[in-house]
Amino acid sequence: MKTAIAIAAHPDDIELMMAGTLLMLKKTGYEIHYLNLSSGNVGSLQYDSQTTAKIRLEEARKAAEILGAHFHPPFCNDLEIFYDLPTLKRLAGIVREVKPSVVLTHSTSDYMEDHTNTCRLAVTATFARGMPNFTTIPPEQTENYNTTIYHALPHTLSDNLRKKITAGAFVNTTSVHAIKLEALNAHRSQKNWLDVSQKMNSYLQTMDDISVEVGKMSKRFIRAEGWRRHLHFGFCNYDTDPLNDLGKDYVINEEYENNL
């Protein structure tokens, strides 16, 4: 069975920018996996770190259940996702266990370091999937196979210098939007936190607005998620693009491709 994994930083990141594509892949027969590196322990003004982590763990488990995804528990804390050897070894172990042909992760440029560090870790952990001299925690068997990494658009749809980022391709998420919204709504503890800390007046409305905006970018879909495909070297063949499995619900941004 083909597998896909979303590797994000915090509980609710997958639901905001990646869950629609996971659900569309599931429709075509993929086994889907859900991993946030961080416990989300900082994301509260009401509870202490330990209590917040427990609450957010249960919320994330519920969200993964709603999506029908295999849940992988976090092993970092907020603002403590670093590109270091112990974290890389643990993530590489999960990649080797799952053997994904599709890896969905954050943009290479995003508004916070937890996101960009997660992106870097996901790329290297996937790159090392077939390298037996790189040991993982726990040890997992190596295997060389084609895998394709896709980078989501950042939450702000722009880089850290305010320049708008254009997607290289779009996935139509209109048919699964209600499930995506339900999964995001499982993260109930984040409503007030995101309003205060990041000026998201309603995280549910924010996700809906982003989906509609990206749909407009696609010039085809009502709601969409945007992706940029990682360079193929060390991962797959030049023209490997498994999101093509989505058929008419996947469209390439020809303008982006022509400017490469």
> What is the residue extent of each domain of the chain?
3-258
Q: Which residues of the chain have pLDDT under 70?
A: 191-201
Q: What's residue 203's pLDDT?
A: 78
* Helix boundaries (H) for 99-174: 113-127
Q: What angle do CA 60, 218, 210 make, to 5 degrees?
A: 40
Q: Which two tokens stand for residue 143?
A: 């295997």
How far is the C-alpha of 111 from the C-alpha of 119, rounded, in Å? 12
Q: What's residue 40's pLDDT?
A: 95
Q: What's residue 189's pLDDT?
A: 86
Architecture of the structural domain at 3-258: 3-Layer(aba) Sandwich (3.40)
How much is the pTM? 0.95
How far is the C-alpha of 127 from the C-alpha of 79, rounded, in Å? 24
Instruction: Give CA separation, 56 vs 27, 41, 80, 255, in Å.
Output: 27, 8, 16, 40
Torsion on CA atoms 52, 54, 125, 66, rounded to nearest 10: -110
Spatial contact of 169 and 227, defined as CB atoms under 8 Å apart: yes
Q: What's residue 198's pLDDT?
A: 52
Q: What is the mean pLDDT of the chain?
A: 94
